[in-house]
Structure 1
């Protein structure tokens, strides 16, 4: 799987961090989301999809391989 955050769309709500803190973080200067592990193991697929589904800006994309 591959996880992406469109930082131009991100509104810094932090929902991704709440859903999967080991996959996402927020920049200190503006709160925009960053991906900590853009190629997480398969057992994290559900967490990545939950984070994407919970993003109010729809800024997270998860590509299943």
Structure 2
């Protein structure tokens, strides 16, 4: 018989592990983001991560070193 997941025995995720979030964006913004990612040879996630980080930092809301 299998044992249910016991979260107390699961090690915490490393601080640099990426996590997922669902965002609803305008269609045109998504299209431009994907095109920019291809043109810049990077990922849409990397661009979005940088944009959110900059937005939070500009407002003094950045609470960590970028690994959360």
Note whether the superposition's TM-score is higher than 0.5: no
Give TM-score, length-normalised by structure 2: 0.24
Higher relative contact order (Cα pairs below 8 Å, separated by 6+ residues): 1
Give TM-score, length-normalised by structure 1: 0.25
Q: Would you tell me which structure has more strand in proportion to its own residues? A: 1
Q: Which has the larger radius of gyration?
A: 2
